[in-house]
Amino acid sequence: MVVGVCQQQEKNLLRLSFVAAGVFVILAFGFAILSDSGAILFDGIYSLIAFFMALLTLKVSDLVDLPDDDRFHFGYTAIEPTLNLFKALIIIVGCLYAVVSSISALMAGGTEAEYGVGIIYGVVATVSCLGISLFMRLKGSHIRSDLVAVDSHTWLVDGVLSASILLGFLIAYFFERNGLSHWSPFVDPVLLVGLGIAMLPVPVKIMLERLNEVIHKAPPEKVTKAIEKRLTHTLTDVPYRHVEVRISKAGRNIYLLVHIIVAPSFSVKTIAELDTIRKRCEEEMQAWEPAIVMDILFVSDPKLAD
C-alpha cells in the first residue's frame, strides 16, 4: 500500500515537472523575442530540453515499476540510472554551451537587450524554477526516487541560470541609468560564464554517481559495511564460517548477492529449511531498507563464493 502511494506521488511530481517545463518553454521563447536577449533564448533552449527529458522520465517511471519479463530478465530498474546519466550529460553540455557562447559574445563586444523586459522574465523564472526545485525536493525526500531527485537538480540549475540573467539585467539597467551604458553589453555574458562554470559540479556529481550504478560499481565502503553488519545480524542462528556479499545499486534497488559459507556443523534435512532462512533474512533486511533485493546461496567450499 505504501509502495503504491509512493509510486503515485513520484508520478505526480514528474507530471508537475513535465507541465512546468512546457510552460517555461513558451514563456522563455516569448520573452526572448520581446527582449532580444540571447541569454533568455538559451534559457528557453534549456527548458525545451528539460521538457523532452521530463516526457521521457514519465515513460521511464512507468517502466521501472514493471516486473521482469522475457526481454528484461532483471526488470527495468537499470533504465533509471541510464536516463539520469543522460540527463546529467545534457545539463553539462548546456552549462558548457552557456560558457562558450558567452565568451564568444564578449569577444564580439557583448550583447544588448531590452533590460526592463528581461528583469520581468528574470523575476518570474527565478522564483518559479527555484520554487519548483524546492517543492520537488521536499515532497520527493521520503519516496526514494532518483528520477525526482535529478529533476529537482535540473530545476535548480535552471533557477540559478535564471537568477544570473536577472542579476545581469539589473546591473545592466543600473549602468544604463547612470552613464555607464558602454559596460552594459558585457554584464550578461560575464555572469553566464561565471554561472556556467560554478554550476558544473552539480551535474558532474550526478553523472559520476549514476555512472557507478550503470557499471555496477560497489557502493561506498561505509554503505557496504552497514549492509554487511545488518546482514550478519539476521544470521545469528546459522552456523557459518564467512559471509561474502556483493552489492550493486541500480536506480531505486540495492541488489545483494550473498554467499553463506556454512560451518561443518550446519545441516538441514529439506530445501524448505533453507527457504525459511532466506525468507526470514530477506524480510528483516527489507524492513531495514525497503530498496534491497537479494539472492542467498549456501556453500561449503569457499572457492564457490569467489
Chain segment 41-94, per-residue pLDDT in tens:
877 877 887 788 778 877 877 777 777 777 776 777 778 788 888 888 887 887
Q: Please state whether beta strands 292-299 and 253-262 pair in parallel, antiparallel, or not at all (unpaired).
A: parallel
Q: What percent of the chain has pLDDT over 90?
A: 16
Domain check: are 103 and 28 in the same one? yes
Average pLDDT over residues 266-294: 89
**Whole-angstrom distance, CA of residue 238 vs CA of residue 59:** 44
Q: What CATH number did the domain enclosing 244 receive?
A: 3.30.70.1350
Q: What CATH number did the domain enclosing 17 receive?
A: 1.20.1510.10
The cell numbers describing 214, all together, are: 550503470
245 residue type, one letter: V
* ∠ Cα 41 46 52 (to 5°): 125
Domain check: are 119 and 255 in the same one? no
Evaluate whether 97 touches 205 at the Cβ level (below 8 Å): no
Distances (CA, A) of 14 to 93, 122, 150, 209: 23, 24, 11, 21
Domain check: are 120 and 187 in the same one? yes
Give the structural domain span for 281.
221-305
**Whole-angstrom distance, CA of residue 97 vs CA of residue 216:** 31
The count of C-alpha atoms lying within 13 angstroms of the C-alpha of 186, restricted to the half-sphere facing its C-beta, is: 8
Q: What is the pLDDT of residue 2?
A: 47
Q: Residue 159, exposed/middle/buried by CB under 10 A (0-12, 13-18, 19+)?
A: buried
Give residue 1's pLDDT band: very low, low, confident or very high (50, 70, 90): very low
The residue among 214, 237, 267 that closes a domain is 214
Give residue 5's pLDDT band: very low, low, confident or very high (50, 70, 90): low
Residue 255 three-state SS: strand
* ∠ Cα 160 163 165 (to 5°): 115
Domain check: are 116 and 264 in the same one? no
Domain check: are 120 and 198 in the same one? yes
188 residue type, one letter: D
The residue among 214, 235, 257 that closes a domain is 214
Residue 247 three-state SS: strand
**Whole-angstrom distance, CA of residue 44 vs CA of residue 158:** 10
Domain check: are 146 and 200 in the same one? yes
Domain check: are 182 and 244 in the same one? no
Distances (CA, A) of 176 to 110, 181, 182, 244, 298: 14, 4, 8, 69, 77
Domain check: are 161 and 262 in the same one? no
pLDDT-wise least confident of 111-115, 124-128, 238-242: 111-115
Give residue 4's pLDDT band: very low, low, confident or very high (50, 70, 90): low
The count of C-alpha atoms lying within 13 angstroms of the C-alpha of 57, restricted to the half-sphere facing its C-beta, is: 33
**Whole-angstrom distance, CA of residue 98 vs CA of residue 271:** 62
Q: Which residue has the cell 535529478?
A: 150
pLDDT in tens, 124-180: 999 999 999 999 888 877 777 777 888 888 888 888 878 878 888 888 888 888 888
State the pTM of this model.
0.70
Domain check: are 165 and 299 in the same one? no
Domain check: are 93 and 48 in the same one? yes
Domain check: are 136 and 285 in the same one? no
Non-local (6+) Cβ contacts of 95 within 8 A are 157, 196, 197, 199, 200, 203
Domain check: are 185 and 239 in the same one? no
The domain tally of the chain equals 2
Residue 65: count of CB within 10 angstroms of its CB: 16
